[in-house]
A and B are shown apart, each in its own frame.
Chain A
């Protein structure tokens, strides 16, 4: 983090939890301006948590703004048994879900869109010649679009866990707390999410590398057996 973060005390390495606890105490004592500093390390995570649910930049940004305002308002209710970052992300998740419910009601869509069977079998895409990350053969922009498109294609419950665990690198326990589900549910969804990503992306990335198929000509629906 930039040195600007520190004010009256010498710069020392403190854990995020200690730093957050100190800032929270000072904010609750009246130094509201420090709230900027408190949320700054997590603003990226809360945007992507909201985006994973809403799939729209403007909506995700609105949800992120609402999240920090709600967090400021409710900071006195924060209990230190969870991390501040987890608490903040759980607000973002709830905010984004509320926006999504609202949007669905407006569109007369059912909220219950029959999520896929979480326990059912799943067949990954089997490619036999994967050796290394094909970064060299893909333009960064193409790669980004490919990955974003794949994540966007996942059902919401899988996008959420994948973004929190694999993009934002929350622990399983933190993701479970933020999403309001058990760790077991996070693990089950994570398995499905990761295998779905593999099934969508492995053939595209491998075929791009070998130049045999067009980048977006997905073989995801078919079996590679």
Chain B
């Protein structure tokens, strides 16, 4: 199986997930080994995913949890 760049881009997400069959994985890796553009697309996509998964990237509004539980408590008290 020989893949061109567009085929590789179309599989990048599944490849990152580890959700490609062995034959396809091998073909992708063969392509990546000699195509520095696709290797850079893969690396940059992967790195961006690492950044957005970082807990420090998205913060809750100050006091969010307190307000949520205060509202919940009102509801619980009204039911009891």
Interface of A with B (CB < 8 Å)? Answer: 32-33, 35-36, 39-40, 43-44, 47-48, 57, 61, 64-65, 68-69, 72, 121-133, 135, 140, 143-144, 147-148, 151, 162, 166-167, 169, 172, 187, 190-191, 194-195, 197-198, 201-202, 205-206
Contact = CB atoms under 8 A, between A and B. Distances in A.
Interface string B39-69: 0110111011111110011111100110111
Contact of B44 (A47, A130, A140): A130
Nearest to A123: B9
Contacts of B76: 32-33, 35, 72
Contact of B64 (A61, A143, A144, A148): A61
Given A133-B50, A194-B49, A195-B45, A148 B58 contact: yes
A147 B45 CA distance: 13
Given A33-B76, A36-B72, A198-B44, 13 more contacts: A128-B40, A131-B43, A143-B51, A144-B58, A147-B48, A147-B52, A147-B57, A190-B13, A194-B12, A194-B13, A194-B45, A197-B52, A202-B45
A65 B80 contact: no
Given A132-B47, A148-B58, A191 B14 contact: yes
Contacts of B13: 187, 190-191, 194-195
Contacts, number: 128
B61 A202 contact: no
Contact of B51 (A122, A133, A162, A194): A133
Contacts of B69: 36
B31 to A, nearest CB: 14
A144 B71 contact: no
Contact of A122 (B9, B37, B44, B60): B9
Given A133-B50, A190-B13, A202-B44, A35 B61 contact: no
A194 B9 CA distance: 10
Interface residues of B, number: 41
B56 A140 contact: yes
Nearest to B8: A124
Nearest to A34: B76
Contacts of B47: 130, 132-133, 205
A194 B42 CA distance: 10
B22 interface: no
Given A151-B52, A194-B49, A197-B48, A126 B12 contact: no
B28 to A, nearest CB: 14
B57 A69 contact: no
A47 B52 CA distance: 16
A96 to B, nearest CB: 15
Contacts of A128: 36-37, 40
